[in-house]
A and B are shown apart, each in its own frame.
Chain A
Amino acid sequence: AAGVIQSPRHLIKEKRETATLKCYPIPRHDTVYWYQQGPGQDPQFLISFYEKMQSDKGSIPDRFSAQQFSDYHSELNMSSLELGDSALYFCASSAQGISRANTIYFGEGSWLTVV
């Protein structure tokens, strides 16, 4: 079965540079989520989109922005990168449908290293 696809899998950037992560949700899933997981930490919610509109916002820095496109894929843009942005970034998707509590499936993650 198709899963959540994230690219790139690994990314190395220098401080103050910009990075863009891409996410392709599971087909027919209408909601995309972004999470950030620092070393030894649990995943922290950044932002989510339902039907291409922002549906929830967590601890996403102002330097970061995200959007969901008409084909439901999403991009997370990170600017003015800092060393502390080094983390594993997850994209996840779910199908809201009638129930808003469906299972959230995660991609394999994108490893960002800021040097």
Chain B
Amino acid sequence: AQKVTQAQTEISVVEKEDVTLDCVYETRDTTYYLFWYKQPPSGELVFLIRRNSFDEQNEISGRYSWNFQKSTSSFNFTITASQVVDSAVYFCALRRTSGSRLTFGEGTQLTVNP
């Protein structure tokens, strides 16, 4: 069975602060894929990143960066210099290569205050 845990239910920061969202996963598969999605108040699910289990290189995209550590089964997401528009629920998700569904974590509600 697969499981994704986002221990931080809610995080509140002030604009321009850096914030890290934690994601820990469990799987017996040796090959798998990890995702982050953003869900703003309007409700849509926006794809942010996909990471293959065999590629542990960290990635940076603008103010967003991701730290994948297979040894600790973690795939953390950092927003640098947060902005009010970053306020949303962020979901970490896991997908097996042999299957098709996404298993989501419980989500982290990020509130960035001006």
Contacts and interface: CB of A to CB of B under 8 A. Distances in A.
Interface of A: 31, 33, 41-43, 45, 48, 50, 55-56, 58, 88, 90, 92, 94, 96, 99-101, 103-109, 111
**What is the interface residue range for chain B against chain A?**
20 to 34
Interface of B: 32-33, 35, 37, 42-47, 50, 52, 91, 95-107
A92 B35 CA distance: 14
Nearest to B105: A42
B43 A100 contact: no
Contacts of B105: 42
B110 to A, nearest CB: 15
Contact of B43 (A31, A50, A94, A108): A108
Given A33-B100, A56-B101, A103 B47 contact: yes
A41 B102 CA distance: 15
A108 B44 contact: yes
Contacts of B33: 101
A100 B99 CA distance: 7
B35 to A, nearest CB: 7
21 contacts: A33-B101, A33-B102, A42-B104, A42-B105, A43-B91, A43-B102, A43-B104, A45-B103, A48-B101, A50-B100, A56-B99, A58-B101, A100-B97, A100-B100, A104-B35, A105-B47, A106-B44, A106-B46, A108-B42, A108-B44, A109-B43
